[in-house]
Amino acid sequence: MDPVSDLIRSWKIPVGKWGKSLIDFVVDYFQWLFDALKISLNFVVEGTTAGLLMLPPVVLALLIALFAWWLRKSWKLALGVLVGLLFILNQGLWKETVQTLVLVTGATALSMGIGVPLGIWSAHNPRVWRVLQPVLDLMQTMPTFVYLIPILILFGLGAAPALIVTIIFAMPAPVRMTYLGITSIPRPMIEAGEAFGATKRQLLWKVELPAALPSIMAGLTQCIMLSLSMVVFATLIGAPSLGNPVNKALANRNIPLGIEAGLAIVVLAIILDRMLASRSGAKK
């Protein structure tokens, strides 16, 4: 063996032990907080899912198609959404699809609710952005399965840890896109608002946010797609979603089930993307 390499390995930095000590500390002193958060999130997610599943599948599919028409004012889109949902129902994956839809919607709402204000704050404060940028890089580049270990220890199995993991994975998108939208506003536009005596709050709501809206909505679309991909992985920690039949197909080498579940995920992703396309300024 190379003596230099042996010397470097002999002085190994115990980052793994430090991480375990940190998690042990959090568990010892703050487990009550994580338990309360888990109970609350499980109540909301499971209650919403149960409420939607009480509706006849065809009725719920029609309601979603009507919502798509309201968003886009396109009967073709509404018909496509209805056909896609009926295809999923035909494949026997309706319950898993509703569970996935609830998780994706919840994770997207929370990610946008946290990410957009952070993006606005960092766009107005360069110091905040310098601190936030490496954190966002870490959240986006860390392997997915690494998220699951500490979240599993803190929250256990179920929908709540899946929601937390999905938020961590998807939130950088709205933060970055909001920051990009705010910082890309032409300076003369800001100066025009200031010349008319607008306060900082008025500039934000009447100038900056309307101008940055296409970028923010693009961040929303990215957030939805990232949430959908992460929810599938989160089945490994007990998330009820379309990832369950995917994992079953993989474990049992069940090709038909794998194709059916994969197509259901694709159809759901296309539906969500097309429903929000015009709101993000895209022409599809």
Q: What is the pLDDT of residue 98?
A: 93
What is the four-CA torsion angle of 76, 82, 83, 84, rounded to 10 degrees? 110
Give the pLDDT confidence score for residue 225 in this predicted structure.
87
Q: What is the number of alpha carbons within 13 Å of residue 176 lying toward its C-beta?
A: 17
The encoded tokens of residue 165 equal 């993991």
Q: What is the pLDDT of residue 196?
A: 81
pLDDT digits (tens, 9 = 90+) for 61-107: 999 999 999 988 888 999 999 999 999 999 989 999 999 999 999 99
The SS3 call for residue 244 is helix
pLDDT higher for 112 or 30? Answer: 112
pLDDT of amino acid 100? 92
CA distance 94 to 61: 10
Q: Show the 3-state SS of 37-75.
A: HHHHHHHHHHHHHHHHHHCCHHHHHHHHHHHHHHHHCCH
The pLDDT value recorded for residue 1 is 57
Six-digit token pair at 269? Answer: 């992703």
What is the predicted pLDDT for the residue at 282?
A: 43
Whole-structure pTM over 0.75, yes or no? yes
Q: DSSP characters for 71-137?
A: HH--HHHHHHHHHHHHHHHHTT-HHHHHHHHHHHHHHHHHHHHHHHHHHHHHHH-HHHHHHHHHHHH
Amino acid residing at 93: L
pLDDT of residue 280: 42
Q: DSSP assignment of 229-274, as one string?
A: HHHHHGGGGT--STHHHHHHHHHHT-HHHHHHHHHHHHHHHHHHHH
Residue 244 clears pLDDT 70, i.e. is over it: yes
Q: Distance (Å, rounded) from C-alpha 58 to C-alpha 86?
A: 7
DSSP annotation of 204:
I
Is the distance from CB of 177 to CB of 222 less than 8 angstroms?
A: yes
